[in-house]
Amino acid sequence: MEKQRTGERVEIAVSVDDAGWAMDAMRERADAYERTAEYLEDGDSDDAAFEIEEVSDAAEARGIAKSYRDVIKRIEVKLATAK
């Protein structure tokens, strides 16, 4: 598979169910990066099974989480206008 260039846009067609599952997975990833940022800032985690994501600092973790949340929002908007 050829590597996509950063910022390049692609269109995909998936079922509403598939879009929902993809958004669920992206929410989990965003949550993981937000927990990582919190851990890097406070040094504490309430979750014993928590695994820190590989990032250089809390700001990078928050930026990745925001990117996931932005994609989720774009999909939600698209789904809302497609009905």
pLDDT value at residue 10: 84
**Residues spanned by the domain of 77:** 16-82
The 3-state DSSP class for residue 51 equals coil
- Per the structure, the count of domains in the chain is 1
**Structural domain includes residue 3:** no
The model's pTM is 0.83
Q: Report the C-alpha gap between 42 and 11 in whole angstroms.
A: 39
**Structural domain includes residue 8:** no
**Structural domain includes residue 63:** yes
Identify the residue with better confidence: 83 or 22.
22
pLDDT tier, 9 (very low <50, low <70, confident <90, very high otherwise): confident
